[in-house]
Structure 1
Amino acid sequence: MGLFRKLSFRRNTSPAAASNKPKSKESSVSWFGEKRLLKESQIQDKILKAYVISRLASPANVFRWEANLIGPENCPFENGVFAVSIHIPTKYPFKPPKIVFNTKIFHPNVNENGGISIDILGSQWSPALRIDLVLLSICSVLSNPVEPFVLGNPAVKVYLQDRNAYEKIARMWTMEYANA
């Protein structure tokens, strides 16, 4: 037993170790999020790349991304290229990113300012999700709108009352605004 009392475990307190270590809980979360985002930005997935082209807006800021979403086949958004901005909070992955369509789109889950209403960007957010998987989910929602829809969005009324009219308008908007 005497042997265990003599052992002393000390943290590495060298200047090099101190400079890499976050100072507070908040900066620790930010540091963790930054490291994770750097890894996520380098993921190369063939299936994902067919629908999502994402990149850092600036190499100096891992919390701002840009992406192009390719409209899925057999839906009104087919072959459209939709630009989105991704603003990632410093508390990522514990808080969801804010993703906004920069390209005008006629969709029940997207408001007139490009804001997206889907549960994984709100109440169903999980730290297990990655930015690329969220973007792929948004592509899926393009072809299959999900509730909750955006209140007051004209696309919701048309979608619920006349699916053919909705698809026609969505195709027209895709051709006009998302034609690469």
Structure 2
Amino acid sequence: MSKVPRNFRLLEELEKGEKGLGPESCSYGLADSDDITMTNWNGTILGPPHSNHENRIYSVSIECGPQYPDEPPKITFVSKINLPCVDQTTGEVKREKFHTLRDWKRLYTMEAILLDLRKEMASPANKKLPQPEEGSTF
């Protein structure tokens, strides 16, 4: 089976993200529409209901390096959040502590990462963690 080249894959993800074809609980798109390398992206995650994240909108930056999708992107929360997989100084999602990045597969997408982060927020171990003041950023 042939590999889809990086740019084709990113164009597919861009089209899906721009058309809002994914779930309503997350969204993503290019940070700069003139970025021909399609490296820097913005994402949002709506906090899951029945958790300390409810009614919050979390912003993340996504950096798809030259090896994406063979290598996972770098995910950094812009909005402050208290999760075990997020570095509390920089907001970066720690690869070794977040299963989707640690066990990365080429078929995973940015949407899958955002949805899995939302699931992480809703997990019994994390949904009641105290959170920083709403609107605070790293």
Does TM, normalized by the shorter one, top 0.5?
A: yes
Q: Distance in 1 between matches of 2:39 and 2:118?
A: 21
Instruction: Give the CA deviation at 1:60.
Output: 2.5
Tell me the alpha carbon deviations over residues 13-43 of structure 1, each in whole angstroms, 9 at most, x when there is no partner.
xxxxxxxxxxxxxxxx9x9111110111111
Which structure has the highest helix share of the two?
A: 1
Q: What are the residue-to-residue correspondences of 1:74-153 with 2, within 5 Å?
A: 74-112=50-88, 113-117=90-94, 118-122=98-102, 124-144=103-123
Q: Distance in 1 between matches of 2:67 and 2:124?
A: 28
Q: Distance in 2 between matches of 1:71 and 1:82?
A: 7
Q: Counterpart of 1:169? A: 130
Instruction: Give the CA deviation at 1:107.
Output: 1.7
Amino acid at match of 1:121: L
TM-score by length of 1: 0.62
Structure 2 segments unaligned to the other structure (5+ residues): none
Amino acid at match of 1:88: C
Instruction: Give the CA deviation at 1:176.
Output: 5.2
Q: Counterpart of 1:65? A: 41
Q: Distance in 2 between matches of 1:78 and 1:110?
A: 18
Instruction: Give the CA deviation at 1:88.
Output: 0.5
Q: Looking at both structures, which has the greater relative contact order when contacts are Cα pairs under 8 Å and sequence separation is at least 6? A: 2
Q: Distance in 1 between matches of 2:124 and 2:5?
A: 33
Q: Counterpart of 1:7? A: none
Correspondence 1:40 to 2:13 = yes
Q: Distance in 1 between matches of 2:136 and 2:104?
A: 30
Instruction: Give the CA deviation at 1:68.
Output: 1.3
Larger Rg: 1
TM-score by length of 2: 0.80
Structure 1 segments unaligned to the other structure (5+ residues): 1-28, 147-158, 160-165
Q: CA contact under 8 A between 2:82 and 2:129: conserved in structure 1?
A: no
> Cα RMSD between the aligned structures?
2.4
Q: Distance in 1 between matches of 2:93 and 2:63?
A: 13
Q: CA contact under 8 A between 2:26 and 2:111: conserved in structure 1?
A: yes
Q: 1:81 to 1:99 in 2, by over 3 A?
A: same
Instruction: Give the CA deviation at 1:45.
Output: 2.6
